[in-house]
Amino acid sequence: MNQSSQGRARLSVPEWFPKGVALLRDPTLNKGMAFTEDERDALGIRGLLPAHVLSQEEQVARVLENFRQKPTNLEKFINLAALHDRNEALFFRIVMDNPDEMMPIIYTPTVGLACQRFGHIFQRPRGLFISAKDKGRIGNILRNWPYRDVAMIVVTDGERILGLGDLGANGMGIPVGKLALYTACAGIHPTQCLPVVLDMGTNNEALLSDPLYIGLHEKRLTGSAYDEIVDEFITATQRVFPGSVVQFEDFANHNAFRLLEKYRNGICTFNDDIQGTAAVALSGMLSALRITGGKLSRQKILFFGAGEAATGIADLTVAAMVSEGCSLADARRNCWLVDSKGLVVASRTGLVAHKQPYAHEHAPISDFPTAVRTLKPTAIIGVAAVGGTFTPEVLQDMARINERPIVFALSNPTTQSECTAEEAYRWTDGRALFACGSPFDPVTQGGRMHVPRQGNNSYIFPGVGLAAVATRATRVTDEMFMAAARALAAQVSEEDLAQGSLYPPLPKVREVSAHIATAVAAVVYAQGFATVPQPADLLSFMRAQMYDPHYPSYVDR
């Protein structure tokens, strides 16, 4: 170790701390060229790096220069994934400081394309791949994860990735991206996050015939054999990582609802496609009603889609209407579903359980445009991942029915969006109160600038997760998502509303997440599901839990 006039540098880390090449290859500890002269000596990495020492700010500038030269979003995704794999602090610094630019790359809409191409762009494993062949040893696989302080697990079986369908093990891009947002948006430490794919096979013939597909080249496991794998996994998570939160992500409808119901009263778990989507959509509705002045219980909402997202939104909206004094029956009658067979009505037979509360007495209607003209809704919400469904005719009809029509085109990626922002504003003469699932640029219509914002779950789930982790909650309840929706709506300013934005700007997302976590934690404590004492100032407590990706010093003077 070098001597200097200031004295000898001394390691401020434990003896077991990695040194040399092992340190540089650990993304949670690596600082790249930001290691100081003293650190290079003390940690055995002198000569393994170029001589010049760069600050984190200088590293950010270099990364951004290279990132912005990439010709496609997929190449930008690959560039950021490689950074994530070698230097997590730098990766999160860049994402946190540039959310508008980075979040559409690391998550929707680009993550959808990345999942489709996952086996062809695969560079380095991240997360755990648990296959149908691993029955009986899932606990041992979880113990292979290098970090013991896991608090947040996002798991998918890849059967319904965004609006793209069955992508099998390629769906790993979703939990990886989701957990990156838990850290970037709410400050959950990266080592507390575990992405998991349950590789049950795939029914996607294109993947099965692709020699570069990374998963089992077998048809999907179903029935009791499927359930046994899931049950072993859930049991093992609580044994290996006691108290960890398990978020179900992108499971197909036939599994998503029943798995949520099976486990929600036994462990701390939720399904973001059902509950997170519901909260962000309800929040957007509450923001829209600040503009129209209407009451939620007076709205008639027509959903294009009748799966996890649609019924999740409907259920939470109904609960909010009931809280305004509306009866349960009347609240449900304010929500209507259109699926692939047309309007969901009481005379339909064979309806699955989650559609039945919204099967009202009405003559059958076979298509969405006719349902709009007949029912005259105040709001339409698209969550079926069928692009272009909100046609000019539909939008014009909504504008004839309502002075300020509420139009939420929430499907993603962008190719699956029910309409674009430009279409929504053009065909309603700029009167639409619009939210989207994929990002769209501002639109000028009638001499006025409209700034649409994504009704993206990234506004909701990070704060909910932070609250659950910080309070060590034993359950996540629907009331917590109601609190999250109201807290998010409260963060929308009058300036936001004046430009047509129903959500706050992404650069404020960490502060928004802190407020959401505070509101959710208050419910956790009120319902008796917290296992740590309640602090006097919940907001300060939440802020104090949030990881900040600055480099630590590894030596003392």
Q: Which of 31, 178, 355, 503 is catalytic?
A: 178
Distance of CA 513 to CAs 362, 516, 543, Å?
A: 41, 5, 9
In b/e form, how buried is each residue of 7-24, taking b as 16+ CB within 10 angstroms? eebebebeeeebbeeebb
Q: What is the dihedral of CA 136, 141, 147, 152, to 10 degrees?
A: -60
Preceding peptide of 413 cis, ω within 30°: yes
Query: Element (H or E) spanning 475, and its range?
Result: none
Token pair of 227, please?
Answer: 């359930």
What is the spatial distance between Cα 286 and Cα 292, in angstroms, rounded to a whole number? 10
What is the spatial distance between Cα 382 and Cα 437, in angstroms, rounded to a whole number? 9
SS3 track for 126-192: CCEEEEHHHCCCHHHHHHCCCCCCCCEEEEECCCCCCCCCCCHHHHHHHHHHHHHHHHHHHCCCHHH
What is the spatial distance between Cα 430 and Cα 6, in angstroms, rounded to a whole number? 66
The full DSSP string for 73-114 is HHHHHHHHHHHHHH-HHHHHHHHHH-HHHHHHHHSTTHHHHH
Q: What is the dihedral of CA 526, 469, 517, 503, to 10 degrees?
A: -130
- Is residue 107 part of the annotated active site? The answer reads yes
CA–chain centroid gap for 438, Å, is: 13
- Is residue 358 part of the annotated active site? The answer reads no
Q: Which of 76, 107, 355, 525 is catalytic?
A: 107
Question: What residues are annotated to the active site?
Answer: 107, 178
